[in-house]
Amino acid sequence: MLKVLLVDDEPFIIQGLKVIIDWENEEFEIAGTASNGKEALQFLENENVDLVIADIRMPEMTGLELLETLRKDKKSDVYFVILSGYADFSYAQQAMQNDCTDYILKPVDKEMLLKVLNKVLVLKNEKNQINEDNKKMKQAYLARHLISLIQDKYDEVNLNYVKENMRCEGGARYVEIQMEQLPAGDEILDSDMRSLQRKMYESCVAFLGADSAHCVFDVSVNEKVYDIGFIFSDYMAEEAAKTERKYLEDLRRYICDNTQKNIVMLVGRKVSDISKIARSYGNACMLRSFQGFRIVKSIYYYEDEVKISADGIVLCKDSLDKLLRTVEQNNHLEIRNAVATFYDEMSSMGMNGESMNLNINYLLFQFIHLASEQDDNVNQQEILRLISESSFKTGIERGSRAHMTRFCCEYGDYLSQLRKNVSRGVIGMVEKEVRDNYATNITLKSLSEKYYVNSAYLGQLFRKKYGQSFKDYLNNYRMERAAELLHRTDKKIIQIAEEVGYHDMDYFVNRFIQVKGCTPARFRRQMQSGE
């Protein structure tokens, strides 16, 4: 409902306006009345209204003076309608020059009043849409700058923009928020997962309120990780009179309740300044990578997962070194035997869950070093992604010998491909796949399986050639196709979004803003006007 203030020094005019139409039916409500401009100003100091309907001639302060006062120094942009007699028509024209929305001649005609109110509704809806577009653009701009910091690809422009547009004082942690992995055999369409991801984001934003800018949609470069990012700052818990862990648990439960899904948090270590948040993000990525090899929890804290017990770390060094050698040699039979030896030794030593995790973490870190030795330019994010994909197992298999065996064999294949450099022709075929099938649920994983190339290695090749992940390459290609359709057709934006592979409208709009710098609607208007 739009709120209306009626201003006239003649009571019967006020009364007539009240009853001439069904205001509520027209989506308006009368918020108050005033007998002159001064009374109207006093009312407006305490009440927000959308529309003022005022007589042009009144004692103490006329309707025209009221309008000029409101417009002075852009004090108010309230919609303003003048009531004018035939003799005052010149004054009505003057009012129009002062950003008056419209005027109505006395005596007030019902149809004319309805026409003017409909005009106000249209203008209000257009204004709301522009404001919403601008809000989305601002959110997308801030998210883009913040993601640059998170991924350690920022400059001073990115850093300053973030510091100017969100609270950053004190220590901070990166928190990855994701849905618990599905039971083995369960499959959900990408569009459905995106919808659930959107619900997670909206729930987080609602919980954070004024700090909603700290929540970022879809940070991960992993196509199969439907995550949101959250920058936790110390002041949040302090102002809520909670401990850090209580605050994060309350946030997690809030998102669980709103999505009806079990939510998992991966909490990186604290950094002293937002400029260092990439370090905390790296910690969260490692936690994600190691999830499959550790006890299932609701919240993983980096400090808890990597801490060394007071008794020191007991490493099955010989078994671990043997397993590393077999993986490096990519001998699948020997890998199976080495995994069995490793697990038998941990069992014989009576290791608990924490000690086993420390041994497995040591092994995974060594795997990262092995890849780096093969190629100095290897991207560790891609390696972590490979580990993540292999660790996303559920049920009895999670962390088992079979799970570790399968992972080690796959990692051996990856190292082998790094040595052989099997890139010839593969990138070209993948590029063609994108051109032909960009609107489908195409992923790096599915393409790697189709062309018999390890997915992490294929991602590495893409990054070397284009300086971006496959996910970004695909998104950018889709946006170029969307831009063409916006320019050359009159199809609805939601239809275009679906045609280029997006079933979540908000996700499409945010991606478009990040790539093109404006909303799809504004882009179309610019193309049509030749700006």
Instruction: Inform me whether the pLDDT recorded for 422 exceeds 60.
Output: no
- Residues 6 or more apart whose Cβ sits within 8 Å of residue 252: 177, 263, 265, 298, 299
Banded pLDDT at 515 (limits 50, 70, 90): confident
pLDDT of residue 235: 94
Q: Between 395 and 134, name the one with better pLDDT.
A: 134
Lowest average pLDDT, out of 254-263, 281-290, 329-338, 500-509, goes to: 281-290
Mean pLDDT calculated for residue range 482-491: 91
Residue 205 pLDDT class (50, 70, 90 cuts): very high
The pLDDT of residue 410 is 84
- Look at residue 309 in the predicted model and tell me its pLDDT: 41
Sign (positive or negative) of CA dihedral 415, 356, 313, 299: positive
**Mean pLDDT for all residues in the chain:** 84
pLDDT tens digits for range 215-257? 998 777 555 678 899 999 999 999 999 999 999 999 999 999 9
The pLDDT tens digits for 368-410 are 777 766 655 555 566 666 666 555 444 445 567 888 898 899 8
Bridge partners (DSSP) of residue 102 are: 81
Q: List own/partner pairs for 103-111 with CB under 8 A and 24 or more apart.
A: 104/53, 106/13, 108/13, 108/16, 108/17, 108/20, 108/83, 110/20, 110/21
Q: What's the confidence (pLDDT) of residue 356?
A: 77
CATH class of the structural domain 166-306? alpha beta
Pair of tokens at residue 220: 């991960």
pLDDT tops 90 at residue 291 = no
What's the confidence (pLDDT) of residue 363?
82
- Percentage of the chain with pLDDT > 70? 85
Higher pLDDT, 204 or 464: 204
Region 471-484 average pLDDT: 90
Per-residue pLDDT, 423: 53
Q: Are 22 and 1 in contact (CB under 8 A)?
A: no
Which of 69-78, 371-380, 455-464, 502-511 is least confident?
371-380
Question: What pLDDT score was predicted for residue 2?
Answer: 94
Q: Is the peptide bond before 107 cis (omega within 30 degrees of 0)?
A: yes
Residues 452/453/459/460 CA torsion (nearest 10 deg): -170
Average pLDDT of the residues in 285-308: 75
Confidence of residue 469 (pLDDT cuts 50, 70, 90): confident
Task: Report the distance separating Cα 55 and Cα 422, nearest Å.
Answer: 80
Query: Rounded CA gap, 292 and 361, in Å?
Result: 11
Assess if CATH 3.40.50.2300 describes domain 2-129: yes
Question: What does the pLDDT look like over 12-45, one tens digit per residue?
Answer: 999 999 999 999 999 999 999 999 999 999 999 8
Over residues 409-419, the pLDDT tens digits come to: 988 888 887 76
Sheet holding 79-84, edge to edge: 28-34, 2-7, 51-55, 79-84, 102-105
Q: What ranges do the domains of the chain cover?
A: 2-129, 166-306, 317-420, 426-529
pTM of the complete model: 0.61
Q: Cβ contacts of residue 336 below 8 Å, gap of 6+?
A: 405, 409
Give the architecture-level CATH label for domain 426-529: Orthogonal Bundle (1.10)
The model's confidence at residue 164, banded by pLDDT at 50, 70 and 90, is very high
- Residue 89 phi, psi dihedral angles, 5° rounding: -60, -35
The CA R_g of the chain, rounded to the nearest whole Å, is 31
CA distances from 223 to 360, 389, 464 (A): 25, 10, 18
| pLDDT the model gives residue 310 | 40
CA dist 104 and 449 (Å) reads: 70
The DSSP call for residue 271 is B
Neighbours of 479 (CB within 10 A): 21
Average confidence (pLDDT) over 453-472: 77
The pLDDT of residue 92 is above 90? no
When pLDDT is averaged across residues 322-342 and rounded to a whole number, the result is 91
